[in-house]
């Protein structure tokens, strides 16, 4: 689901929308939706995008990224 507009992908096989290239956390269904969220009166994405982007640079964007940064890489398979 798109957090900005609440839309669900029209193609059931599509599991996500395009990520914002600034923060790499929020996703938007269209460029128009991204632009609307960027300058929203309620909670403009512009206000926190850069900060979130810096956090994802440090921590990553997935649980696996976060786990590896805190605990190191997981055990490797033995051949």
Give the model confidence (pLDDT) of 48-73 as tens digits: 999 988 888 877 767 677 667 777 77
* Enclosing domain of residue 45: 1-79
Residue 16: the pLDDT is: 59
* Buried-exposed string 45-63: b where 16+ CB fall within 10 A, e elsewhere: beeebeebeeebeeeeeee
Q: In degrees rounded to 5, what are phi and psi of residue 27? A: -125, 155
Question: Which is higher by pLDDT, 77 or 56?
Answer: 56
Q: What is the H or E stretch that residue 18 is in?
A: strand 18-19
Q: What is the pTM of this model?
A: 0.56
What pLDDT is attached to residue 20? Answer: 87
Position 3 pLDDT exceeds 60: no
Q: How many domains does the chain have?
A: 1
CA distance 37 to 3: 10
Q: What is the pLDDT of residue 70?
A: 72
pLDDT(78) > 60? no
* Residue labelled with tokens 């398979």: 77
């Amino acid at each position: 689901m798109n957090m900005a507009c609440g839309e669900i992908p029209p193609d059931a096989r599509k599991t996500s929308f395009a990520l914002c290239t600034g923060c790499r956390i929020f996703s938007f269904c269209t460029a128009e939706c991204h632009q609307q969220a960027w300058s929203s009166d309620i909670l403009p994405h512009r206000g926190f995008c850069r900060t979130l982007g810096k956090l994802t640079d440090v921590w990553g964007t997935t649980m696996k990224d976060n786990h590896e940064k805190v605990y190191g890489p997981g055990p490797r398979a033995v051949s």
